[in-house]
């Protein structure tokens, strides 16, 4: 037994490290966020909310936890900057890939994804990184670091092709780095737009896909507890429709859910993040 929080509250036979296909990796890091601090509390809030989910999925008539969901120790340390944190995440994820596990990273601010990107790109030469986010995150450098949360997708682009979904906030200086053919802006895909864009998006992905979900991709009315909320975001069913199409067509090799900034008055955000994790696992293993 361990006194640390676990995802869900499953019988011990479904939470053993050696038999679990899924490994949850909390990364409680918030070293570079620029507006509201608190993303380091995100993993704990997601884990704390998770036992309150229903673990039966209506749409697929399934209980995906039977694949085994192990919650690993947090990647944590007394780091001087995000570079050292990214290296620690890379090492952890590379180890899990060696063991044949399906890693799920819980942030933490978005820079926690960089180490996962590196481990994934090394393992899968044809990788595409699919980003759901309000922000393009394509700054080459921000506040003295190339691993700042505002630079996450600039680092991703150095490793492999990327596709960006839900974007509605960026700096003019990022324009040269933006590949417009691979960006789905929120104003084009939200608010009653038909979902034909999803097929176009799936068509841009390679076989192996890593998904990075900044929770601020959701509209703040849906998920308010995030550090840099932006109006005009995606709905729950908008995200799920897209995810269903992606998981059906491609081999998803892992994903992260980042930038939850928990607030006591917005406990629904913690629950949404936990539900999103479980819903994506259902799509991974139970989608018919
Ligand atoms: Mn963002």
Q: Of 75-79, 208-212, 261-265, which gets the smallest average pLDDT?
A: 75-79
- CA angle at 60 for the pair 195 and 284, rounded to the nearest 5°: 75
Query: How far, in Å, from the CA of 18 to the mean position of ligand 1?
Result: 34
User: How many whole angstroms separate alpha carbon 174 and alpha carbon 269?
Assistant: 29
Q: Is there a domain that residue 229 lies in? A: yes
Assess whether pLDDT exceeds 50 at residue 1. Answer: no
Query: How far, in Å, from the CA of 88 to the mean position of ligand 1?
Result: 22
Span 90-133, pLDDT tens digits: 999 999 999 999 999 999 999 999 999 999 999 999 999 999 99
Query: How far, in Å, from the CA of 9 to the mean position of ligand 1?
Result: 30
Q: Is there a domain that residue 199 lies in? A: yes
Give the model's pLDDT for residue 81.
Answer: 87
Give the model's pLDDT for residue 194.
Answer: 84
Query: How far, in Å, from the CA of 250 to the mean position of ligand 1?
Result: 24
Q: Write out the residues surrounding ion ligand 1, Cβ under 5 A.
A: 133-135, 214, 216
Query: How far, in Å, from the CA of 270 to the mean position of ligand 1?
Result: 17
Query: How far, in Å, from the CA of 200 to the mean position of ligand 1?
Result: 23
Q: Does pTM top 0.95 for this prediction?
A: yes
Q: Which domain holds residue 258?
A: 12-286
Q: Is there a domain that residue 210 lies in? A: yes
Span 6-51, pLDDT tens digits: 999 999 999 999 999 999 999 999 987 777 789 999 999 999 999 9
Number of domains in the chain: 1
Give the model's pLDDT for residue 37.
Answer: 84
- At 3, the pLDDT band (50, 70, 90 cuts) reads low
Q: Is there a domain that residue 179 lies in? A: yes
CATH code, domain carrying 127: 3.40.800.10
Span 50-72, pLDDT tens digits: 999 999 999 999 999 999 999 99
Query: How far, in Å, from the CA of 288 to the mean position of ligand 1?
Result: 31
Query: How far, in Å, from the CA of 67 to the mean position of ligand 1?
Result: 31
Q: Is there a domain that residue 211 lies in? A: yes
Query: How far, in Å, from the CA of 123 to the mean position of ligand 1?
Result: 26
Query: How far, in Å, from the CA of 80 to the mean position of ligand 1?
Result: 23
- Does residue 31 or residue 182 have the better pLDDT? 182
- At 4, the pLDDT band (50, 70, 90 cuts) reads confident
């Amino acid at each position: 037994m361990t006194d640390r929080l676990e995802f869900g509250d499953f019988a011990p036979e479904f939470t053993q490290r050696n038999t679990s296909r899924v490994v949850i990796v909390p990364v409680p890091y918030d070293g570079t966020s620029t507006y509201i601090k608190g993303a380091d509390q995100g993993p704990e809030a997601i884990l704390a909310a998770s036992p309150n989910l229903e673990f039966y999925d209506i749409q697929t008539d399934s209980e995906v936890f039977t694949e085994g969901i192990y919650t690993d120790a947090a990647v944590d340390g007394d780091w001087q900057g995000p570079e050292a944190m990214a290296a620690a995440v890379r090492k952890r994820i590379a180890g899990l890939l060696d063991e044949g596990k399906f890693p799920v990273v819980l942030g933490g601010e978005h820079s926690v994804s960089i180490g996962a990107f590196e481990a994934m790109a090394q393992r899968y030469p044809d990788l595409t990184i699919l980003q759901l986010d309000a922000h393009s995150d394509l700054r080459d450098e921000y506040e003295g670091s190339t691993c700042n949360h505002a630079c996450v997708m600039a680092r991703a682009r150095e490793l492999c092709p990327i596709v960006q979904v839900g974007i509605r906030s960026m700096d003019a200086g990022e324009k040269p780095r933006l590949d417009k053919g691979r960006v789905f802006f929120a104003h084009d895909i939200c608010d009653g737009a038909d979902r034909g864009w999803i097929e176009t998006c799936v068509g841009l992905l390679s076989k192996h896909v890593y998904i990075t979900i900044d929770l601020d991709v959701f509209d703040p009315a849906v998920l308010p507890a995030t550090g840099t909320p932006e109006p005009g975001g995606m709905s729950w069913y908008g995200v799920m429709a897209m995810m269903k199409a992606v998981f059906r067509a491609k081999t998803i090799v892992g994903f992260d859910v980042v930038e939850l900034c928990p607030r006591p008055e917005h406990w629904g955000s913690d629950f949404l993040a936990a539900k999103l994790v479980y819903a994506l696992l259902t799509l991974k293993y139970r989608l018919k």
